[in-house]
Amino acid sequence: MEERGYWGFLGSGADFPVGNVSFFLFYSGHVAGSVIASLDMKRMHRWELAFLFDTLNLLQVVRLLSTRGHYTIDLAIGVGAGMLFDSLAGKYMKKAMAEGGDVLYTNLPHLS
């Protein structure tokens, strides 16, 4: 028999607290990835594409909230995680370039 939630939706362990856990936190990787893509487009001065990514990401947030795919805090942390990971990747790139590499992975053998 199917178990239905309060509004008639199918229930799952992620929808409602399970056992002693009163809060389930897992940031939205979809939102984080879209934020990273938007920041990258802004860095490349592709403003129209960055605006498109931001708009689609906003629609994605609305979709995830309305379908209860994530909690609100998960989406906010997804935005923060995207900004953090983009910043860390930028620092890595600067360090790699400062160490004399024109292109990353130049010392790896090419597959033929």
Q: Tell me, yes or no, if 45 is annotated catalytic.
A: no
Overall residue count recorded for the chain in this entry: 112
Asked if 25 contacts 74 with a C-beta cutoff of 8 angstroms, the reply is yes
Spot the catalytic one: 15, 74, 102, 110.
Answer: 74
Spot the catalytic one: 40, 70, 86, 110.
Answer: 70
Asked if 67 contacts 18 with a C-beta cutoff of 8 angstroms, the reply is no
Q: Tell me, yes or no, if 30 is annotated catalytic.
A: yes
Which pair of tokens denotes residue 75? 């989406």
Contact residues for 57 (Cβ-Cβ < 8 A; gap 6+): 31, 34, 35, 38
Q: Annotated catalytic sites, by residue?
A: 30, 70, 74
